[in-house]
Chains A and B, each alone.
Chain A
Amino acid sequence: MKLLAYLRSLISAVQHRNHEDGDLDEEFLAHIQSHADDLERSGMPRAEAERQARIAFGGYARVKEECREERGGFWFESLWKDISFGLRMLYKNPGFTAVAVITLALGIGANAAIFSVVRGVLLRPLANQDEDRLLYLRQSATGDDDAAFSIPEIKDIGANLKTIKELGTLSQLDFTVVGLGQPREISAGVADGNYFDVMGLKPVLGRLLNPGDDGPNAAGALVLTYRFWTTSMHSDPTVIGKTVRLGSFEGTRSATIVGVVEPSVPYPIETQIIANIVTSPHHLSATMVEGRVHRMTEVFARLAPGAELESARAELNTVYAGMLTAHPEVYKPSDHYQITVTRMHDQINSRARTILWVLFAASGLLFVIACSNVANLFLARTVRREPELALRSALGATKAVLRRSLLAEALVLCGAGLLAGVLIAAPMVTVLSRYAARFSARAVGLTLDSSLLWIGVALALIAAVFLAFVPRLPSGDSSKGFGISSSSVRITGGSRRRLRIFAVTQITASFLLLAGAGALLRTLLVLQRTQPPFETAHVLAVNLPVMSDGRTPEQVSEFYREAQRRVATLPGVERASTSFATPWRDARFLNLSFSFALQGAQRENALDDPRARFRSVSPGFFETMGVPILEGRDFDDRDRDGAERVVIINQSVAKQLFQGQDPVNRELRWTDPVMKFIGISYEPRRIIAVVPDLDDQDLIPSQAMTVYQPTNQEGWNGRLFVRAKTDPYALVPSITREIHEIAADQPVEHASTLDDIRTEVMTPDRLNAVVFGGFASLALLISVVGVAGVLAFSVSGRTREFGIRLALGASPRHVLTDVLIEGLVIAVIGVTTGAVVGFVSARAIAKYTADFQVPGALPLVVSAGLILAAALIASALPAARAAQVDAVQALRSE
């Protein structure tokens, strides 16, 4: 719309101009006629009088031009004329124009796109009301640097705060939801009645949870998130009032859908529905209410009116310190318990911030490269045009006029670059926001807005002004200026130096980008080359969430045994087993690790007990994964609740804690204080087998101590693994059918092979490499064009020199190597500068973020080699041309 208005005003300005031109004519004619009248009165014939009057008036067109100039607004008008002149000039040099416009488009487009994403993800305020007064609380201690809170802790901290208006709490839980379409597992939050008030969110439909929904006697109520409502419920307003069954690990409750919350960023986890506390039996249990170390609750806070972040921090620190001293048995001073208070906005952005600013820096480098390149081309062209400029200058054009015509041309170039840039920016934003969505929920559904255009316009203007002021103009002093007489191009020292500087700048920036991309690519390659320690291609993982609605734990266990049995007999299935977590995907479960103690094993010292990863697997799990049992026996059907408690340990436990002794038949028991809250006993368990280390959590396998329990004891279940003889995905329908025959309302979800899960988990690394690799290749391409341009230009300017040298007997090979060396020198200086700049900035960055890794030597060496090779290729063509200079021709052209 704004563009239309602008065009309209432009048109009216031109019309206005024509109108005023008419005025000028009328005024001048009146003058001439009046003069003629006087002459006629003095006796001259009319025709002669008019002729005389015209002569007396002088050069009609010149006077008109001068008047227009005096009237003002002339500058713009001339600029317009210059622009059309510029358009014609560019049209006549399609090669130059295309290269310059494409380069600018890349520079402008990439920057505009990334800025849009940075703005949308980092800078835009959250939807929450008064979002800058919304805080997020975490605590940390040695061994656990980022923990949520337990209910007793929240009670201790939250009482009588002056700087905080209210605390809101939310804990994550997966509900198996029956009554909303297909039964399925839904990621949910269980919130107290203050949560929505603290978050500053409003309903778009119905109501949200309030303090009336708290307490054990309230009716079950749940609120849908906007995203879930629109995507899964198709924005159906009749869902309000519907009653659904919510199943969690300690039982199933009914709840009524009371409302839909406005669109907002879910944090810290993507929740689809938010229910009140009564919907989760676990939240009402003593474990939850009294367990001081049962930390599963997120705490949000809203600053009291007038209070500031700093004062809230101070008060919370004081209150927290008081709690620590009141419970020394839980908070050992050696563990350094600490509370952290951050603004919600900063917290949400924390993951995306670094990566986006790095991207922004990368695109900034690309812009610098693009501008340098176009500046080079532009400068080279201006130097060629020096005779023309000198001629115009001699004919009376002032420096300002010449600069204006250069500016006009630069504007035309950058305008075209802007148009093309905006066109490529739109799809880039889509790709980038998908990329950024990996780091921030805020990038989901990011849309294009006018800021993209404005940032593009700003960049184009910057580039245009830069381009217009780079070339040197002929000065009035003829001794320093350039002659018009010589038709051949003579390059002045200043222009040549500038050309080199731009070429070096491009090489420097490209090298930095290449080195960065190289480091990321290497990370990816290492990940891809790493062989997972177990079978992945033929193993299908399927989610079978626990459905405890109306069933005893024994019945639930029996369901999984039955499922495993029936699936195993399906044609095409080699082996089936169950577990409680899918490798790589279920990070929340895979993270579980508890402290334990061995009987008979050497305790390293009296300090804390060792910790091991906790896994719950069914009989046949190791066989399904293609992992041998090194010693002892696998779990079997005898290992049930009530029977002797058994575990299997991995090699790391055996090696680190038994040191050569035989671990089989030794006893192990969990000692972690958390155990009593999750229903796992402290009784001793007999070690029945040792298996190799099979890291199912990290992409690069580590040697983490792991203890396996049978799913049939203290039943932790929910994932089915099927080893297929042929195509695993072909089995999905028959598996689903088989499961539904046992239990019709059992969700069967997210079937994919372990291979695909691994690939999916690696996506961020791949995207990193692709995005930065893309940037770096663009930069390299532009730089090659830039270096080639500079050298070609330099060669054409030295034609005479080469001619003389060849005439004096220099061999063409000498000339050739001369030019090649010139190109290499530019590249070497660029790479060296890049290395220095990179080193300095890496040290600066390392000061601010701990997780910054300096790329290894390999990517650096490879990038440097690439740049040098590219420079050589870029110099080859100009060098060949220099060697082929015909001496006689070159000298005659003088």
Chain B
Amino acid sequence: MNPQAELLPGTLDLLILKAVSLGSLHGYGILLRIEQISGGALLIEQGALYPALFRLVRQGYLKASWGTSDNNRRAKYYELNAGGRKRLREEEEAWNRVVAAMTLVLGAEAVQS
């Protein structure tokens, strides 16, 4: 079985917010961090990352600024701002509710009447 999980629709934003909440990152760094935290289980299509980043910037959750990466390359860094932190909390709660509900449903056993 493929050890990599399929990324659920709508979860990319949440993953990005979470990754960035741990410290400001450039685009490639975000990819690496998500891969690393998930133990390689979640792989993000690279092309899908940037439109999502731009969307989050436009919606006012992320702040972008130019900086220098560890290997001395100019790169654009993303970090959460106040709106982004609030959004992250909300998304996390919503996700947890879904997970709890899903677990409940999937854990149900047939009851004989």
Which residues does chain B contribute within 8 Å of A62, judged by CB atoms?
A: 47
Contact of B47 with A59 in the complex, beta carbons under 8 Å: yes
B50 is an interface residue with CB less than 8 A from chain A: yes
Q: Residue-by-residue, is A148-161 near B (CB-CB < 8 Å gives 1, otherwise 0)? A: 00000000000000
Spell out A's residues near B (CB within 8 Å): 23, 26-28, 30-31, 33-35, 37, 56-59, 62-63, 66-67, 69-72
B33 is an interface residue with CB less than 8 A from chain A: no
Contact of A33 with B50 in the complex, beta carbons under 8 Å: no
Near A by CB (< 8 A), chain B positions 22-63 give 26-29, 45-48, 50-52, 54-55, 57-58
Which of B51, B52, B54, B76 is the one whose CB lies under 8 Å from A30?
B76
Q: A27-B75, A34-B75 are in contact. Are A71 and B69 (CB under 8 A)?
A: no
> How far is B74's CA from A574's CA once the two chains are assembled, in angstroms?
105
> How far is B76's CA from A58's CA once the two chains are assembled, in angstroms?
19
Q: A34-B69, A58-B45, A72-B58 are in contact. Are A67 and B50 (CB under 8 A)?
A: yes
> How far is B16's CA from A70's CA once the two chains are assembled, in angstroms?
16
Contact of B73 with A57 in the complex, beta carbons under 8 Å: no
Closest to B55 in A: A70
Contact of A71 with B58 in the complex, beta carbons under 8 Å: yes
Closest to A68 in B: B54
B71 is an interface residue with CB less than 8 A from chain A: yes
Contact of A31 with B26 in the complex, beta carbons under 8 Å: yes
Which residues does chain A contribute within 8 Å of B73, judged by CB atoms?
A: 30, 33-34
Contact of A31 with B46 in the complex, beta carbons under 8 Å: yes
Q: List 16 A-B contacts (CB under 8 A).
A: A23-B76, A27-B76, A30-B27, A30-B73, A30-B74, A31-B27, A33-B73, A34-B26, A34-B28, A56-B46, A58-B47, A67-B50, A67-B51, A70-B58, A71-B58, A72-B58
The 10 lowest CB-CB distance pairs between A and B, nearest first, are A58-B47, A70-B54, A66-B51, A34-B28, A70-B55, A30-B75, A63-B47, A31-B28, A67-B54, A57-B46
Residue among B28, B45, B48 with most chain A CB within 10 A: B28
> How far is B75's CA from A27's CA once the two chains are assembled, in angstroms?
6
Contact of A70 with B51 in the complex, beta carbons under 8 Å: yes
State how many angstroms separate the Cβ of A514 from the closest Cβ of chain B. Answer: 56
- Additional A-B contact list (4), CB under 8 Å, known A30-B26, A34-B73, A66-B50: A27-B27, A27-B50, A35-B28, A57-B46
Which residues does chain B contribute within 8 Å of A63, judged by CB atoms?
A: 47, 50-51
Residue among B26, B29, B51 with most chain A CB within 10 A: B51
State how many angstroms separate the Cβ of A653 from the closest Cβ of chain B. Answer: 92
Q: Residue-by-residue, is B63-96 near A (CB-CB < 8 Å gives 1, otherwise 0)? A: 0000001010111100000000000000000000
Which residues does chain A contribute within 8 Å of B74, judged by CB atoms?
A: 26, 30
Contact of A30 with B69 in the complex, beta carbons under 8 Å: yes
Main secondary structure, interface of A, reads helix
Which residues does chain B contribute within 8 Å of A57, judged by CB atoms?
A: 46-47
Which residues does chain B contribute within 8 Å of A26, judged by CB atoms?
A: 74, 76
> How far is B28's CA from A26's CA once the two chains are assembled, in angstroms?
13
> How far is B75's CA from A518's CA once the two chains are assembled, in angstroms?
77
> How far is B27's CA from A18's CA once the two chains are assembled, in angstroms?
21
Which residues does chain B contribute within 8 Å of A72, judged by CB atoms?
A: 58
Closest to B52 in A: A70
Which residues does chain B contribute within 8 Å of A28, judged by CB atoms?
A: 50
State how many angstroms separate the Cβ of B80 from the closest Cβ of chain A. Answer: 18
> How far is B31's CA from A58's CA once the two chains are assembled, in angstroms?
14
Which residues does chain A contribute within 8 Å of B75, judged by CB atoms?
A: 27, 30-31, 34
Which residues does chain A contribute within 8 Å of B54, judged by CB atoms?
A: 67, 70-71
Residue among A31, A37, A67 with most chain B CB within 10 A: A31
State how many angstroms separate the Cβ of A752 from the closest Cβ of chain B. Answer: 76
Contact of B28 with A30 in the complex, beta carbons under 8 Å: yes
State how many angstroms separate the Cβ of A139 from the closest Cβ of chain B. Answer: 72
Which residues does chain B contribute within 8 Å of A66, judged by CB atoms?
A: 47, 50-51
State how many angstroms separate the Cβ of B83 from the closest Cβ of chain A. Answer: 16
Residue among A34, A37, A72 with most chain B CB within 10 A: A34
State how many angstroms separate the Cβ of A70 from the closest Cβ of chain B. Answer: 4
Which of A23, A27, A37, A58 is the one whose CB lies under 8 Å from B46?
A58
Which residues does chain A contribute within 8 Å of B29, judged by CB atoms?
A: 34
Which residues does chain A contribute within 8 Å of B76, judged by CB atoms?
A: 23, 26-27, 30
Which residues does chain A contribute within 8 Å of B71, judged by CB atoms?
A: 34, 37
> How far is B51's CA from A69's CA once the two chains are assembled, in angstroms?
8
Q: Residue-by-residue, is B3-36 near A (CB-CB < 8 Å gives 1, otherwise 0)? A: 0000000000000000000000011110000000
State how many angstroms separate the Cβ of A66 from the closest Cβ of chain B. Answer: 4
Closest to A24 in B: B50
Closest to A26 in B: B74
> How far is B57's CA from A70's CA once the two chains are assembled, in angstroms?
9
> How far is B54's CA from A423's CA once the two chains are assembled, in angstroms?
45
State how many angstroms separate the Cβ of A12 from the closest Cβ of chain B. Answer: 21
> How far is B58's CA from A7's CA once the two chains are assembled, in angstroms?
26
> How far is B51's CA from A58's CA once the two chains are assembled, in angstroms?
13
Closest to B73 in A: A30
Closest to A60 in B: B47
Which residues does chain A contribute within 8 Å of B57, judged by CB atoms?
A: 71
> How far is B55's CA from A466's CA once the two chains are assembled, in angstroms?
33
Which residues does chain B contribute within 8 Å of A58, judged by CB atoms?
A: 45-48
Which residues does chain B contribute within 8 Å of A69, judged by CB atoms?
A: 51
Which residues does chain A contribute within 8 Å of B58, judged by CB atoms?
A: 70-72
Residue among B26, B29, B73 with most chain A CB within 10 A: B73
Which residues does chain A contribute within 8 Å of B27, judged by CB atoms?
A: 27, 30-31
State how many angstroms separate the Cβ of B71 from the closest Cβ of chain A. Answer: 6
> How far is B45's CA from A56's CA once the two chains are assembled, in angstroms?
8
Closest to A28 in B: B50
Which residues does chain A contribute within 8 Å of B45, judged by CB atoms?
A: 58
> How far is B45's CA from A678's CA once the two chains are assembled, in angstroms?
105
> How far is B51's CA from A624's CA once the two chains are assembled, in angstroms?
96
> How far is B47's CA from A717's CA once the two chains are assembled, in angstroms?
100
Residue among A58, A63, A70 with most chain B CB within 10 A: A70
Which residues does chain A contribute within 8 Å of B47, judged by CB atoms?
A: 57-59, 62-63, 66
State how many angstroms separate the Cβ of B65 from the closest Cβ of chain A. Answer: 12
> How far is B51's CA from A100's CA once the two chains are assembled, in angstroms?
41
Closest to A29 in B: B73
Which residues does chain A contribute within 8 Å of B26, judged by CB atoms?
A: 30-31, 34
Which residues does chain A contribute within 8 Å of B51, judged by CB atoms?
A: 63, 66-67, 69-70
State how many angstroms separate the Cβ of A823 from the closest Cβ of chain B. Answer: 55
> How far is B64's CA from A23's CA once the two chains are assembled, in angstroms?
12
State how many angstroms separate the Cβ of B30 from the closest Cβ of chain A. Answer: 10
Closest to B32 in A: A38
Which residues does chain B contribute within 8 Å of A71, judged by CB atoms?
A: 54, 57-58
> How far is B75's CA from A30's CA once the two chains are assembled, in angstroms?
6
> How far is B29's CA from A34's CA once the two chains are assembled, in angstroms?
9
> How far is B59's CA from A72's CA once the two chains are assembled, in angstroms?
10
Which residues does chain A contribute within 8 Å of B46, judged by CB atoms?
A: 31, 35, 56-58
Which residues does chain A contribute within 8 Å of B55, judged by CB atoms?
A: 70
State how many angstroms separate the Cβ of A532 from the closest Cβ of chain B. Answer: 80
State how many angstroms separate the Cβ of B79 from the closest Cβ of chain A. Answer: 15
> How far is B69's CA from A674's CA once the two chains are assembled, in angstroms?
106
> How far is B50's CA from A27's CA once the two chains are assembled, in angstroms?
10
Which residues does chain B contribute within 8 Å of A37, judged by CB atoms?
A: 71
State how many angstroms separate the Cβ of B26 from the closest Cβ of chain A. Answer: 7
State how many angstroms separate the Cβ of B77 from the closest Cβ of chain A. Answer: 10
> How far is B71's CA from A110's CA once the two chains are assembled, in angstroms?
68
> How far is B27's CA from A35's CA once the two chains are assembled, in angstroms?
11
Closest to B76 in A: A27
> How far is B75's CA from A63's CA once the two chains are assembled, in angstroms?
17
> How far is B47's CA from A58's CA once the two chains are assembled, in angstroms?
5
Which residues does chain B contribute within 8 Å of A23, judged by CB atoms?
A: 76
State how many angstroms separate the Cβ of B98 from the closest Cβ of chain A. Answer: 25
Which residues does chain B contribute within 8 Å of A35, judged by CB atoms?
A: 28, 46
> How far is B49's CA from A31's CA once the two chains are assembled, in angstroms?
11
> How far is B45's CA from A70's CA once the two chains are assembled, in angstroms?
17
Which residues does chain B contribute within 8 Å of A27, judged by CB atoms?
A: 27, 50, 75-76
> How far is B53's CA from A66's CA once the two chains are assembled, in angstroms?
11
> How far is B49's CA from A58's CA once the two chains are assembled, in angstroms?
11
State how many angstroms separate the Cβ of A28 from the closest Cβ of chain B. Answer: 7
State how many angstroms separate the Cβ of A789 from the closest Cβ of chain B. Answer: 45
